[in-house]
């Protein structure tokens, strides 16, 4: 019995299993597919409505914070590419103003979102006796943190630019906090429930079939 326990402990120390790597690869592929099809982004007059945080959240919950950070990097890298290629008018305008700030806006924010989603899920999972609510909470936080980090960097780096102030004037010359609320209102109302429900349902279902260790 002790030998089996030692073997299990050794596997955990080695890192991800072949199943974990396969799941991570599939989620990476899903993100790349979504990024170049209408499945990932819905274009609006303001911020793009994105569902890209859903696979990031699922991976963070199933595979842990490090996998969440990797998937967040893929999400951010595709977003940064869109700002360079011109496929996203809003982010392309930001890129033209300051490419380095756009890099900070797209990539570190999404990596931190994925990592912290995994951390939050682990913490809530320990308290969730039925091992169900934790998946929906994790799905919600993937979208919530994505919005918080993105908008925080946007305000810090671009608030005083003519582009953002021009948008702010159309909203009534609001202070930064009210600007964030008004600007992401529709996006947040769609992204957070979608990430909570879809991310929660999918991650719970996958964990029951492939990752019984999580349930």
pLDDT number for residue 125: 94
Lowest mean pLDDT among 43-47, 115-119, 142-146: 43-47
Lowest mean pLDDT among 37-41, 87-91, 202-206: 37-41
The C-alpha angle with vertex 177 and arms to 166 and 120, in degrees rounded to 5, equals: 125
213 versus 5: the higher-pLDDT residue is 213
pLDDT number for residue 102: 97
Q: Is the pLDDT of residue 30 over 60?
A: yes
Rounded Cα distance, 151 and 135, in Å: 25
Rounded Cα distance, 182 and 170, in Å: 11
Nearest to 105 by CA among 169, 148, 41, 57: 148
Q: Is the pLDDT of residue 8 over 90?
A: no
pLDDT above 70 coverage of the chain, percent: 87
pLDDT digits (tens, 9 = 90+) for 39-68: 777 665 556 678 899 999 999 999 999 999
Rounded Cα distance, 168 and 54, in Å: 29
Q: What is the mean pLDDT of the chain?
A: 87
CA–CA distance from 125 to each of 42, 140, 142 (Å)?
Answer: 32, 14, 15
pLDDT number for residue 14: 56
pLDDT number for residue 46: 57
pLDDT digits (tens, 9 = 90+) for 75-86: 999 999 999 998
pLDDT digits (tens, 9 = 90+) for 172-198: 899 999 999 888 876 777 888 989 999
Rounded Cα distance, 112 and 105, in Å: 11
C-alpha torsion sign, points 11, 14, 18, 22:
positive
Rounded Cα distance, 54 and 177, in Å: 26
Using DSSP bridges, classify how beta strands 41-42 and 49-50 pair: parallel, antiparallel or unpaired. antiparallel
């Amino acid at each position: 019995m002790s030998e089996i326990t030692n073997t299990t402990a050794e596997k955990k120390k080695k890192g991800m299993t072949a199943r974990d790597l396969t799941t991570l690869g599939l989620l990476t592929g899903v993100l790349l597919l979504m990024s170049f099809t209408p499945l990932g982004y819905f274009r609006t007059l303001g911020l793009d409505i994105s569902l890209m945080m859903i696979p990031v959240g699922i991976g963070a919950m199933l595979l842990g914070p490090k996998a969440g950070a990797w998937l967040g990097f893929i999400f951010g890298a595709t977003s940064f590419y869109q700002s360079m290629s011109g496929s996203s008018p809003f982010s392309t305008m930001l890129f033209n103003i300051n490419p380095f700030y756009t890099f900070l806006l797209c990539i570190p924010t999404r990596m931190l979102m994925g990592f912290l989603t995994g951390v939050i899920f682990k913490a809530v999972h320990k308290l969730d006796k039925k091992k169900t609510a934790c998946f929906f909470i994790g799905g919600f936080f993937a979208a919530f943190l994505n919005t918080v980090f993105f908008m925080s960097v946007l305000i810090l780096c671009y608030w005083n630019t003519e582009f953002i102030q021009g948008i702010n004037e159309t909203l009534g010359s609001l202070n930064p906090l009210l600007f964030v609320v008004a600007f992401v209102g529709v996006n947040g109302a769609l992204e957070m429930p979608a990430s909570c429900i879809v991310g929660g349902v999918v991650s719970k279902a996958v964990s029951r079939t492939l990752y019984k260790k999580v349930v």
